Amino acid sequence: MKKIALLLLLALSSMLANANIENSLHNAANYGDLIRTKALVAEGIQLDLINDSGETALYVATKRGNIKIARYLLQNGANVNKSTDSLTTPLSIACRNGDFEIVELLLRFKADTEKSNSFLETPLFISVNRGDFNTTSFLAEHGADLDKVTVHGTSALMITSFKGYADITNLLISKGARLDLVDQYKQTALFHAADLGALEIVKSLVTAGADINMRSGNGSPLDRAKYRKHQLVVDYLISIGAKE
């Protein structure tokens, strides 16, 4: 019994030691301590250990904007695509923070632009959602899928139309984003733009070929504009042949 107890104690001590090392690396990443990070890497620490939140040290460094730590970890083999318990990757959190430098760094190390979180939001969708033109453009140039949809069927083009980001809408259209995708309410991007009263976006979508007479459970784009009393959008849609 004493021997078994001793073995259990040794195993527990080893686990605690590993946990302390793990916490040290995460703390170094959190506070931007490059010297400590280098020392731990030199000792042979596993770079992809996770903390209680399911985060790797690279994720922590990315979340905190500590690019020197992130770069060093990547240069030494950290997994650029390892996600948290909520399936959020370092690239996703960098996009959420609008940290363009770290986005560039992660893509240089082959970050996967298509890995989505638990809501099926890709890094590109996250960038569009926060109105980040530069990051959205950069991701598109690196082959990010423009048409992936979330759990609610929402595409990047829909969310930018819904929020009124005309520059990003035009960017996505120019890159070939699909105009005919529908969300859970059977509404396209044009519905959302008309509902918002975003005349410039409505015109861009129509010019690109959006169906002005498509109907959902909430009527047509014209119906949405009328309901919201967006008279300029109403007048425009009627002028180009929208059916009343």
User: Where do the structural domains in the chain lie, given as residue ranges?
Assistant: 20-109
- Beta carbons of 33 and 27 less than 8 angstroms apart: yes
Q: Band of the pLDDT at 208, cuts 50, 70, 90?
A: very high
pTM greater than the 0.85 cutoff: yes
Res 29: pLDDT:
97
Cβ neighbours for 188, distance < 8 A, ≥ 6 positions apart: 158, 179, 180, 181, 182, 210, 211, 214
Res 244: pLDDT:
85
Which CATH number applies to 20-109? 1.25.40.20
Task: Name the amino acid, one letter, at 135.
Answer: T
Evaluate if residue 18 carries a pLDDT over 70. Answer: no
Tell me which residue of 213, 215, 216 sits closest to 241, measured CA to CA.
Answer: 213
Instruction: Take residue 149 and report the two structure tokens written for it.
Output: 């949809």
Kindly report, residue by residue over 135-181, the tens digit of the pLDDT: 999 999 999 999 999 999 999 999 999 999 999 999 999 999 999 99
Give the CA distances from residue 55 to residues 64, 90, 95, 235, 243, in Å, rounded to whole numbers and listed in that order. 12, 9, 16, 52, 53
Instruction: Give the DSSP per-residue string, 82-141.
Output: ---TT---HHHHHHHHT-HHHHHHHHHTT--TT---TT---HHHHHHHTT-HHHHHHHHH
Q: Band of the pLDDT at 10, cuts 50, 70, 90?
A: very low
Q: Band of the pLDDT at 218, cuts 50, 70, 90?
A: confident
- Beta carbons of 57 and 49 less than 8 angstroms apart: yes
Evaluate if residue 5 carries a pLDDT over 70. Answer: no
Kindly report, residue by residue over 65-121, the tens digit of the pLDDT: 999 999 999 999 999 999 999 899 999 999 999 999 999 999 999 999 999 999 999
Evaluate if residue 2 carries a pLDDT over 50. Answer: no
Kindly report, residue by residue over 24-60, the tens digit of the pLDDT: 999 999 999 999 999 999 999 999 999 988 999 999 9
Res 59: pLDDT:
98
- Least reliable range by pLDDT among 1-10, 61-70, 112-121, 215-224: 1-10
Query: Angle between the 100-108 and 67-75 helix axes, to the nearest 10 degrees?
Result: 0
Task: Name the amino acid, one letter, at 107.
Answer: L
Q: Band of the pLDDT at 17, cuts 50, 70, 90?
A: very low
